[in-house]
Chain A
Amino acid sequence: MTTAAVKVPTFDCRKAFAEELIALAREDDRIVAVCNDSVGSSNLTGFRDEFPDRLINVGIAEQDLVGVGAGLANGGMIPFVSAASPFLTGRALEQIKADVAYSRAKVVLCGQSPGMAYGELGPTHHSIEDLSWMRAVADLPIVVPADPAQTRAAVRWAAANDGPSFLRIGRHPVPAVHPEGTEFVPGKAIRLTDGDDLAVVATGTMVSRALEAAEILRAEGIGLRVLNVAYVEPLDTDAVLQAASGTRGVITAEEATTTGGLGAAVATLLAENAPTRMRILGIHREFAPTGSTDFLLDHFGLSTAGIVAAARELA
C-alpha cells in the first residue's frame, strides 16, 4: 500500500477529452464541437480559440443541440455534441433515440460531468440516470472511460467508428489506471488484477476505487479480479462470464442508478447464462441529500470502503 504521505496524482478526464479533440480536429476538418453555452464546462475554450468556426454553440437548448448534431452528421461532418450529461441525455432523450441512434447518424454524444460530479448542486444536476437511459436505446455504443489515457482512446475510437456513440466524460479527478497510449480494443473489458476469489466489474470513477479495494483485500487474503468495463454497451459478455465462473461472486460498481445500468446488464447476462452471487453497487432509486461529490459517493457506498465492505460480505 502507498503510505499516506504519497499522494497519487489525479486527473480531470475532460482535459484529456479536450486535448484529443483538438488533435483530431487538426487532422480532420470534418470534426466539429457542438455545445449548449457550455464552452467552459465542456473544456472547449482551447478548441474554440483554434477553430472558431467549428465550435457551434446553440445556446441553452439541448433538444436543438442534438438535432443540429444529427443534421451536421448527415451533412458529412463529425460532430462531438457536448453538454452536461443530465441535460444532454435527459432533455434530448427522444432526439438521441430518433435523430441519432435510429437514424444511424454518426454523432458522438459527450455527456460531461456525470454521476455525482455536481455534488452540492443537487439531484437535478446529478447524472445518475444517463447510463440506464442510454442503455435503453438500441444501436448506441456506450463508453465510460476510467482515466485520461482511456478517454483519449475513446475519443479516437468514436471519431473513427461507423455510427453514433455516447461517451461519459468524468469531471471528478481520477488516478491513471492505464498507461498513456493504452491499447484500444472496442467492446472489450480490461482485466486489471488477477484475483480469483471475487470479481469487481467496474466502470468510470469506480475502477480506481476497485483497484484500491483489491489492494486492501489482498492483505486479508481475498483476491479481487478487477475488470474495467469502459464499454458498457455492448457488454463484453465473455469477460463477464469468465469472471463469474472463475470466482465465487461478482460485484458491480458504477456511479449511477442501479436501475438499468451496468449492474443490471451484468445481472441479466448472468441470470440467463450462469446464475452468480452478486452485489450491485450504485444508487438504488433515490435522490441524493445535499453534499459534495466525495460525501455523496461515501453516502451511497461508492467509496473504496464501500467496495471492501461488499466484498467481505460476499467472500
Chain B
Amino acid sequence: MSTLTADPVPAGAYNSARRERAAADPASLVPALQELARKVRTSDIRMINRAQLGHIGGDFSVTDILATLYGAVLSVDPLDPAAPERDRFILSKGHSAGALYSTLAHCGFFPLSELNTFAQPLSALNGHPNRVKVPGVETNTGPLGHGFPVAVGHALAAKLQGSSRRTFVVMGDGELQEGSNWEAAMTASHYALENLTAVVDRNRLQQGARTEDTKQLEPLADKWAAFGFEVRTVDGHDITQLLQAFSGSTTGKPVAVIADTIKGKGVSFIEDRVEWHHKVPTAQQVEDALKELNQ
C-alpha cells in the first residue's frame, strides 16, 4: 500500500516567522494566501476532472479557509507531520478531500504529482481523507458528524498535557444536522476548551437542496452562543477576516466561526448551484473555470 512522503518544502510555505507576521501584520500576507487558494482550486478542479469524481462545490467553498489555516495559522511541519506539538486540523466534511489534498500538496506534505493518482486503483488518495495513508490528515472522515467530537478529544488532550497547541475543525452547515456535533459542542463548552476553534462552512447548500429548505439551521449564531461558544461571523472568502477569526479565544470559551461562503466560489457557473455538490466538470468546463480562476 502506498504511503506518501514529502517533497522538499516550497520556499516560505511554512515557518513560524510567517505565523508571527500573520499576527502582527495580517494584510501583508493576504496576497500570498490568495495565491495559495488559487493554486489549490486549480489543482483540485483538474484532479476532479481526471478522476471523474469529487465534490467541487464544497471544495471551493472551503478553499480560502484551508489556505488561511495552512498558509498562516497552523503550526504544522510538512517534514514532520506527526510532531506531537503540532496544531491539529480536522476536515469533518470529508467529502471535500480534494481541497484538503490539494492544500496539503501545495504546502509540501506530499508531492504535487501525487494528486494525479486521486481515486486511481491502490492510490493513497481515495475520495475521503485517510489518516493512515496521507501525511497531514488527522482522522478519517467522510461519514458526516465525526470530525468535531474527535477535535474535542484532541483539544482535551492538549489541555490535560498542559500544551498550548490548538485544534481547528471545519464542518459543513448541512453536517450540523447530525446530533453528534451538538453533543460535542456541549462537551467542548463544559470543559471550557478555549484552545478549540470550530468553523462552519456556511454555504447554505447541502447535497440535495438549500439547508434552510431541507432542515432549518437558523438562528445559527444564537445556537452556538447558547451552547457556550464565543461566536464570530465572517466572510469565509475574506482572508483578513479569517485571520482575525482564527486568532484565538478572547473569553476563555471555545470559538465558533461561522464562515459565510459560496459553494463553488471562484467559478461563476458552479457558484451556489446545488447540482455542483458532486457534479464532475467536463474538460471544456475545466478550461472555462481555469480562465476565471486565473483572472
Contacts and interface: CB of A to CB of B under 8 A. Distances in A.
Interface string A164-181: 000000000000000000
A121 B125 CA distance: 10
A118 B55 CA distance: 14
A290 B120 contact: yes
A9 interface: no
A59 interface: yes
Contact of A38 (B94, B140, B175, B207): B207
Interface in A258-295: 289-292, 295
Interface string B231-269: 000000000000000000000000000000000000000
A120 B119 contact: yes
B75 to A, nearest CB: 28
Given A121-B126, A122-B128, A57 B142 contact: no
Interface string A111-136: 00000001011101100000000000
B214 to A, nearest CB: 5
Residue of A63, A64, A120 with most chain B CB atoms under a 10 A cut-off: A120
Interface string B139-158: 01111110000000000000
Interface stretch (A24-32, A85-93, A153-161): A85-93
B45 interface: no
A289 to B, nearest CB: 5
Contacts of B107: none
A61 B178 contact: yes
A40 interface: yes
Contacts, number: 87
What's the interface size class on A, roughly? 20 to 34
B119 A290 contact: yes
B144 A120 contact: no
A60 B177 contact: yes
A37 B206 contact: yes
A39 interface: yes
A285 to B, nearest CB: 16
Given A124-B143, A290-B123, A37 B128 contact: no
B121 interface: yes
Contacts of A120: 51, 53, 119, 126-127
A247 B211 CA distance: 57
Residue of A122, A125, A289 with most chain B CB atoms under a 10 A cut-off: A122
* Majority DSSP secondary structure for residues of B touching A: loop
* Majority DSSP secondary structure for residues of A touching B: loop
B174 A124 contact: no
Contact of A291 (B94, B122, B177, B215): B122
A57 B177 CA distance: 12
B209 to A, nearest CB: 8
A239 interface: no
Nearest to B123: A290
Contacts of B121: 289-292, 295
B142 A124 contact: yes
Contacts of A57: 208, 214-215
A38 B120 contact: no
Contacts of B140: 124
A72 interface: no
B208 A61 contact: no
Contact of B208 (A38, A121, A125): A38
Given A90-B143, A120-B51, A122-B126, A59 B119 contact: no
B56 to A, nearest CB: 15
Contacts of A39: 208-209
Nearest to A40: B208
A18 to B, nearest CB: 15
A37 B174 contact: yes
A62 to B, nearest CB: 8
A58 interface: yes
Nearest to A84: B143
Nearest to B94: A124
Contacts of A91: 143, 145
Interface in B162-180: 174-175, 177-179
A63 B214 CA distance: 16
Interface string A211-240: 000000000000000000000000000000
Residue of B121, B144, B209 with most chain A CB atoms under a 10 A cut-off: B121
A90 to B, nearest CB: 7
Nearest to B140: A124
A121 B144 contact: no
A125 B177 contact: no
B58 to A, nearest CB: 13
B130 interface: yes
Nearest to B172: A60
Contacts of B130: 122
B90 to A, nearest CB: 14
Nearest to A48: B208
B215 A59 contact: yes
28 contacts: A37-B174, A37-B209, A37-B214, A57-B214, A58-B215, A59-B211, A59-B214, A60-B145, A60-B174, A60-B177, A60-B178, A60-B206, A61-B178, A64-B179, A86-B143, A87-B143, A91-B143, A120-B126, A122-B127, A122-B130, A122-B142, A124-B141, A124-B142, A124-B143, A125-B127, A125-B142, A289-B122, A290-B120
Which 3 pairs of residues, A with B, have the shortest CB-CB distance? A59-B215, A124-B142, A59-B177
Given A58-B177, A121-B127, A124-B141, 8 more contacts: A37-B207, A59-B177, A59-B215, A124-B94, A125-B142, A290-B121, A290-B124, A290-B126
